[in-house]
Amino acid sequence: MIMLTNSLTEESSANEVEVQKQRIPISQPGIETALLTGCQDRHYAFGLAMALASKGVLLDIIGSDEIDSPELHTAPNLRFLNFRKGHSTNASLAQKLWKLLVYYAKLIRYVARPRPKILHILWNYKLELFDRTILMLYYKASGKKIVFTAHNVNQARRDSKDSWLNHTTLKIQYWFCDHIFVHTQKMKEELCKDFDVAEEAVTVIRYPINNAFADTELTPVGAKRRLGLKEDEKAILFLGRIVPYKGIETLLDAFRLLLADKQAKYRLIVAGEPKKGSEQYLKGIQGFVNRNFDSGQLILRMQFIPDDQMEWYLKGADVLVLPYKEIFQSGVLFLAYTFGLPVVATDVGSFREEIVEGSTGFLCKPGDPAELAKAVETYFRSDLFKNLKVRRRELQDYARTNHSWEAFAELTCNAYAKILARNPL
């Protein structure tokens, strides 16, 4: 068996060298920053906020009810500012418009204050074009230094919805930024090439592990029972937001091919909340499932998965499958690593940078059900699956070493310090 710790030694060392190379000790706990969450991606915002606070950064978190948590009100160095209270999915159009205006009014008034000097934007808010242009101009006119995390370099292109207006406003936003974070080298290359961003203005920070979900004493066997699975069934998991670019149709076709092996005892679990406005897409998936599978072969839970149930899926599954058609990077991949779950994924985006074949998972050609089925079969024949109990622990250790929030926060603080060093307060 090729041990994970041995096969990844070179990659781990390279990551540590990068951290050491860019390290600037944050000796002064006086760096003040506002974290603009865009009122989304709670787990990412929480992880970054707690890590930055532990480094001594004085942090204002601009968020909403969805971002709020008790820890954000009790941890040292943090101040949570709720700019969108009382969010309701049943609100009228007038109520939604009012809350939108209130949010932007509070944000504009907040930015007018002299401190903090650094605004770190994790996500834009609702008015994408306004956020990219007028709001960015206002930030700079107010004397702010702007740090931006580009989770997607050009999301519209990924979704086949790119346009001149989208590309131009993105370029404007990137131009206004003092520093930009991306999660992979491929994203940095695309950002610099497509939007003329200077390389020195971009830092690659490996996507951090998701430590926001409970990891209790629940065993994989116990988790399978909670999902209604038998211990000897090979559980294949798709987890995450249900959207067309993630290639669920390819996975369903591949699963149909896998079921040709009657002895394998495969079960597929599709769990996640559908994207709003995708009713027709969901109807197509449900129809395909009804026509091609028996009820005992597939668990279809296209709904919001509560936080306290996430470990059921990540411990009860034997492998996570990411059949994406296109992607920059996926947080679900690192969530799986956090729980020691191997991954089979299509070779798109930056998956090749993060999946070590035979050690953390396997890759296959995108959009090809036969290739995906073959990759899943290869996984279940591999030592990675045969020694899954041991490999889970190794994979968790790898994730903690290479994707820690501590290293993430250190590189982030380094960027803050460099910006302030160029323009002292």
**376 and 411 part of one domain:** no
Give the chain's largest Cα–Cα span.
Answer: 69
**136 and 247 part of one domain:** no
pLDDT of residue 2: 37
**247 and 394 part of one domain:** yes
**390 and 276 part of one domain:** yes
Task: Check: CB of residue 216 under 8 Å from CB of residue 296.
Answer: no
* Residues of the domain holding 272: 220-402
* Residue type at 29 in one-letter notation: P
Taking the complete model, does pTM exceed 0.75, yes or no? Answer: yes
**243 and 116 part of one domain:** no
**83 and 123 part of one domain:** yes
pLDDT in tens, the chain (425 residues): 334 444 444 444 444 444 343 433 444 457 999 999 999 988 899 999 999 999 999 999 999 999 999 999 999 999 999 999 877 777 888 988 999 999 999 999 999 999 999 999 999 999 999 999 999 999 999 999 999 999 999 988 877 889 999 999 999 999 999 999 999 898 999 999 999 999 999 999 988 887 778 788 999 999 999 999 999 999 999 999 998 899 999 999 999 999 998 888 999 999 999 887 778 888 899 999 999 998 889 999 999 999 899 999 999 999 999 999 988 788 899 999 999 999 999 999 889 988 999 999 999 999 999 999 999 999 999 999 999 999 999 999 988 888 889 889 999 999 999 999 886 65
**330 and 356 part of one domain:** yes
* Count of domains observed in the chain: 2
Question: Residue 4: inside a domain, yes or no?
Answer: no
Q: Which residues contact 319 (CB under 8 A, 6 or more apart)?
A: 235, 236, 237, 341, 342, 343, 344, 361, 376, 379, 380, 385
* Displacement of CA 158 from its chain's centroid (Å): 16
pLDDT of residue 115: 93
Could you tell me the CATH number of the domain that includes residue 268? 3.40.50.2000
Question: Residue 425: inside a domain, yes or no?
Answer: no
**293 and 410 part of one domain:** no
**250 and 315 part of one domain:** yes
